Chains A and B, each alone.
Chain A
Amino acid sequence: MHYELIFQHWQLFLDGYKVTVILLFSVFMVSLVLAIILAIFRSSDNSVLRHPIRGYTYFMRGTPLLLQVYIIYYGLGQFESIRASMFWPLLSEAWFCIALGLILNNTAYLTEIIQGALREVPKAIIEGAKSLGMSPIKTFLLVVCPLALRRSIPALSNEFIFVMHSTAVASTITVVDILGAGRKLNTSYYLAYEGFITAAVLYVSIAFSASYCFRALEKRYLDPLSYR
Chain B
Amino acid sequence: MNEAWPYVPHVLAGAKLTIILSVASLILSCIFGFISAAARLSDVYLLQRVSQVYVSVIRGIPELVLMLLVYFGGQMLLNDLGELTGLWGYIDVDALSSAIFSIGFIFGAYMSEAFRGAYLAIPGGQLDASKSLGLRPIAYLWLIVWPQFLIHVLPAFRNNWLVILKTTAFASVVGVHDLVWRAKGAASATHNPFYFLVLAALVYLCFTILSERFFSYIQGRMKRGWMSI
Q: Does B205 contact A (CB under 8 A)?
A: yes
Contacts of B183 in A (CB 8 A): 67
Among B54-80, those with CB < 8 Å from A are 56-57, 59-66, 68-69, 72-73, 75-77
Interchain pairs with CB closer than 8 A, number: 121
A75 to B191, CA, bound (A): 9
Classify the secondary structure of B's interface with A.
helix
Complex Cα distance, B166 from A61, in Å, reads 9
Let me know if B157 is at the binding interface, CB within 8 A.
Answer: no
Residues of chain A within 8 A of B187, CB atoms compared: 74-75
Known: A64-B167, A66-B169, A78-B192. A71 touches B64 (CB 8 A): no
Partner of A74, one of B61, B193, B202: B193
Say if the beta carbon of B37 comes within 8 Å of chain A: no
Tell whether, in the assembled complex, residue A63 and residue B201 are in contact, meaning their CB atoms are under 8 Å apart: yes
Most chain A CB within a 10 A radius of its CB, from B61, B170, B184, B192:
B61
For chain B, the count of residues having a C-beta within 8 Å of the partner chain is 42
Min CB–CB distance B99 → chain A (angstroms): 13
Q: Decide if A126 is an interface residue (CB 8 Å cutoff).
A: no
Does B197 touch A at the CB level, under 8 Å?
yes
Interface presence of B204 (CB below 8 A) = yes
Q: Quick check: is A199 within 8 A (CB to CB) of the other chain?
A: yes
Task: Say which size band chain A's interface belongs to.
Answer: 35 or more
Answer yes or no: B208 CB below 8 A from chain A CBs: yes
Check B194–A76 contact: CB distance below 8 A: yes
State how many angstroms separate the Cβ of A225 from the closest Cβ of chain B: 23
Rounded to whole angstroms, the CA-CA distance of A193 and B167 in the bound complex is 21
Across the interface, do B180 and A200 meet the contact criterion of CB distance under 8 Å?
no
Q: Identify B61's interface contact among A66, A76, A200, CB under 8 A.
A: A200
Contact of B173 with A by CB under 8 A: yes
- Per a CB cutoff under 8 Å, which of A62, A64, A193, A200 touches B72? A193
- Does the CB pair A67–B192 fall under 8 Å? no
Distance of A99 Cα from B166 Cα, bound (Å) = 19
**Chain B residue contacts of A64, Cβ below 8 A:** 166-170, 180, 201, 204
B202 CB contacts on chain A under 8 angstroms: 63
Known: A66-B170, A78-B191. A197 touches B69 (CB 8 A): yes
Binding site for A on B (CB under 8 A): 56-57, 59-66, 68-69, 72-73, 75-77, 166-170, 172-173, 180, 183-184, 187, 191-195, 197-198, 200-202, 204-205, 208-209
